[in-house]
């Protein structure tokens, strides 16, 4: 068995694999500061709650966009799981060539998603990740990461509404019954969700137009991606495990 870890700005997502099968997954928040011992005990507890013995973990791979917590997390993995983790970054085999102007600026999470989408669904493919930020990444037919678009995520936009205005409340992000809202909460939900749908459809169409590839595959992932993908026919596939699958694929490419 091996453990894959996706460190995002909001959550840390863990997945336990046996070969190509995802046995279980679990999360913890990434915004809470922890020592290496706290990470270690939390990881072991979560593994045991999911009926996985730490002795069975033979390898670990980590992709992170939060540098500040990596020292404590990697130290925890080394001490408590007795594994030296593979960190997704320069020098790691991915099967994807980054051809943007500054390849090192591309986040590890975006590379991982691109790898999974290309390996599983083929290219050319546009990969959407509805996370803290909403990202759109174009991977060519030959597996090159050619371009990326970054926009505020749904949670960031919602947080800006209720933190930067005096009278707007904190709300649940969900699609309202109608875009024709008649009170504050549903009006905010309508603006957030339908605004994201509109943005998503426009960017997909614009990418297809500028690349000249009208039949490009569009694959989405991310916590709030299901809300959007259910409301548009511009997204071909919603894959909630895309990032974990990408980590699995990269781990296997570097296993030897």
pLDDT of the chain, 256 residues: tens digit per residue? 999 999 999 899 999 999 999 999 999 999 889 999 999 999 999 999 999 999 999 999 999 999 999 999 999 999 999 999 999 998 899 999 999 888 888 999 999 999 999 999 999 999 999 998 999 999 999 999 999 999 999 999 999 998 888 888 988 899 999 999 999 999 999 999 999 999 999 999 999 999 999 999 999 999 889 999 999 999 999 999 999 999 999 999 998 6
Q: How far is CA 27 from CA 11, 42, 165, 227, in A?
A: 7, 10, 31, 20
Residues in contact with 83: Cβ distance below 8 Å, sequence separation at least 6, in sequence order: 3, 57, 58, 59, 60, 77
* Residues 4 and 244 sit within 8 Å (Cβ to Cβ): yes
Q: Report d(CA 244, CA 5) in Å as an integer.
A: 8
Beta partners for residue 61, in sequence order = 4, 86
Predicted local distance difference test score (pLDDT) of residue 221: 97
Q: Listing from the earlier edge strand, what are the strands of the sheet with 86-87? A: 21-29, 11-18, 2-7, 59-64, 86-87
Beta partners for residue 78, in sequence order = none
Q: Report d(CA 45, CA 9) in Å as an integer.
A: 22
Domain locations along the chain: 2-87, 97-247
* Residues 206 and 189 sit within 8 Å (Cβ to Cβ): no
Please say whether the dihedral angle defined by the alpha carbons of residues 244, 247, 248 and 249, taken in this order, is positive or negative: positive
Q: Report d(CA 155, CA 143) in Å as an integer.
A: 31
Predicted local distance difference test score (pLDDT) of residue 104: 85
Q: Report d(CA 9, CA 15) in Å as an integer.
A: 17
| HEC letters along the chain | CEEEEEECCCEEEEEEEECCEEEEEEEEECCCCCCHHHHHHHHHHHHHHCCCCHHHCCEEEEEECCHHHHHHHHHHHHHHCCCCCEECCCCCCCCCEECCCCHHHCCHHHHHHHHHHHHHHCCCEEEEEECCEEEEEEECCCCEEEEEEEEECHHHHHHHHHHCCCCCCCCCCCCCCCCCCCCHHHHHHHHHHHHHHHHHHHHHHHHHHHHCCCCCEEEEECCCHHHHHCCCCCCCEECCCHHHHHHHHHHHHHCC
> Which CATH number applies to 97-247?
3.30.420.40
Q: Active-site residue numbers?
A: 109
Cα angle 37, 42, 45 (rounded to 5 degrees) comes to 125
Structurally, at CATH architecture level, domain 2-87 sits in: 2-Layer Sandwich (3.30)
Q: Check if 2-87 and 97-247 are the same fold.
A: yes
Predicted local distance difference test score (pLDDT) of residue 52: 95
The structure tokens 């925890």 sit at 76
Q: How many CB atoms lie within 10 A of CB 46?
A: 17
């Amino acid at each position: 068995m091996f453990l894959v870890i996706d460190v995002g700005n909001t959550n840390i997502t863990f997945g336990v694999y046996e070969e190509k099968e995802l046995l279980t997954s679990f999360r913890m928040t990434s915004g809470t500061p922890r020592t290496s011992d706290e990470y270690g005990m939390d990881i072991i507890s979560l593994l045991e709650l999911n009926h996985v013995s730490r002795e069975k973990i033979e390898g670990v791979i980590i992709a992170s966009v939060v540098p500040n917590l990596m020292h404590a997390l990697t130290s925890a993995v080394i001490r408590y799981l007795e594994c030296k983790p593979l960190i997704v970054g320069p020098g790691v085999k991915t099967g994807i060539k980054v051809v943007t102007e500054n390849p090192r600026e591309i986040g590890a999470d975006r590379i991982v998603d691109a790898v999974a989408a290309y390996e599983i669904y083929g290219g050319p493919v546009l990969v959407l990740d509805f996370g803290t930020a909403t990202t759109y990444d174009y991977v060519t037919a030959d597996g090159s990461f050619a371009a990326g678009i970054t926009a505020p995520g749904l949670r960031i936009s919602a947080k800006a509404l209720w933190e930067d205005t005096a009278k707007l409340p904190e709300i649940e992000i969900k699609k309202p019954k109608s875009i024709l809202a008649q009170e504050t909460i549903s009006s905010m939900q309508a603006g957030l969700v339908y605004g994201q749908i509109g943005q998503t459809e426009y960017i997909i169409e614009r990418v297809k137009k500028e690349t000249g590839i009208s039949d490009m595959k569009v694959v989405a992932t991310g916590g709030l991606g299901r809300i959007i993908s259910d409301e548009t026919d511009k997204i071909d596939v919603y894959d909630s495990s895309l990032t974990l699958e990408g980590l699995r694929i990269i781990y296997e490419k570097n296993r030897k």
